[in-house]
Amino acid sequence: MHNSISSSIFFIKESSLSFRASNVNKMSLSSVIKDWCESLDQTVFEQLFTDGTEKCLGLFKSITNDDDLTITRLAKLATDLRIEDWDEKVSELYATSISRYKETAEAHHSEAEEDSETQNTSTYQIAFMDGSGKTVTKRFNSVEGTGKGRLLHNQVIAALESMGRAITDQEKRQILMEILKELC
């Protein structure tokens, strides 16, 4: 078992070559990933992707020098399995998932337009398409939360967590956006 874990860790470290080719053998995994993240359009870290790339990017943004921890988390994220449970097919799934996350992140280009107005840091903005295909943008200011508001927040979080993997994160977001559209 220890041998399969070691070979899986080696495989994952080898995959870091796909992020940066030059001097990668002399660099730690965290350095390779940090350099790659710095090369991306920084708005990619604000984007939600249908393939879960934002989870991978979130892991990369919070990376530490503990390569073993990074490897363990990346393996679980990419395959939904612990390294100990891997076989050849799961190794292929890992490689495919990492490549997909990398391609998605690198393909993202900032579409944010510079707003000439001063932005209020306590303002929210939601944009969605209406029935006719027209983009509708709604903005609203943040308000101070109340006890009942925190209770509602906790209940919504609990309801989402209780669904687990029964519905996808994308479907959960869609449901929340439909509720927000009704409130706007």
Residue pLDDT, tens place only, 122-134: 677 788 888 888 8
Q: Using the predicted structure, report yes or no on whether residue 17 has a pLDDT greater than 60.
A: no
Three-class SS of 25-93: HHCCHHHHHHHHHHHCCHHHHHCCCCCCHHHHHHHHHCCCCCHHHHHHHHHHHHHCCCHHHCCHHHHHH
Q: What is this structure's pTM?
A: 0.58
